[in-house]
Amino acid sequence: MIFAKYKTLNIETQNAIDKVRDNNKAYYLVAYEFAALWVKKQFKTFSSEDLKEDFYAAGYPKPKEPRVFGAVMTELKKNQLIKFHSYQSYKNPSGHSRPSTVWISTEYSLLQSEKRKTNFKTQARLDFPG
């Protein structure tokens, strides 16, 4: 029964995200295209706040509905361009220090993983006697 509750919540959340995206379609498309390129250049962890900061710094106006960035982040995750890394407190005071998701570029995560494997193999060879 608990699972059904969470399943309903996920459907409701997805419906809300879809509604925000659909009601702000032109802005969403521009923001998503920017974000899809932006995350590929991120060789560090980031939050949606970091994305928004760079988006506005690039000269784009603020949206009428700021939750459109939630739809952008959801789509980036769905398209496997980003993955969950951790949580941090919102930096912006209007967030009242609520938890904020920290993401990592999937591309960067794969590079890190390959580097760890290479380092492990090198270390294993150095530690092997004989």
Encode pLDDT of 86-112 as tens digits. Answer: 999 988 887 788 899 999 999 888 888
Amino acid code (one letter) for 56: Y
CA–CA dist 117, 110 (Å, integer): 11
Stretch 65-84: mean pLDDT? 93
pLDDT at position 125 is 56
Average pLDDT along the chain: 85
At 121, the pLDDT band (50, 70, 90 cuts) reads low
What CA dihedral angle connects 50, 53, 54 and 59, to 10 degrees? 170
Kindly report the backbone phi and psi dihedral angles of residue 101, in degrees, each rounded to the nearest multiple of 5, phi listed first.
-75, 135
Stretch 109-117: mean pLDDT? 83
* pTM over cut 0.85: no
Please report the domains of the chain, with CATH numbers, ordered by start residue: 2-127 (1.10.10.10)
C-alpha distances (whole Å) from 101 to each of 28, 32, 55, 115, 122 are: 20, 18, 18, 25, 34
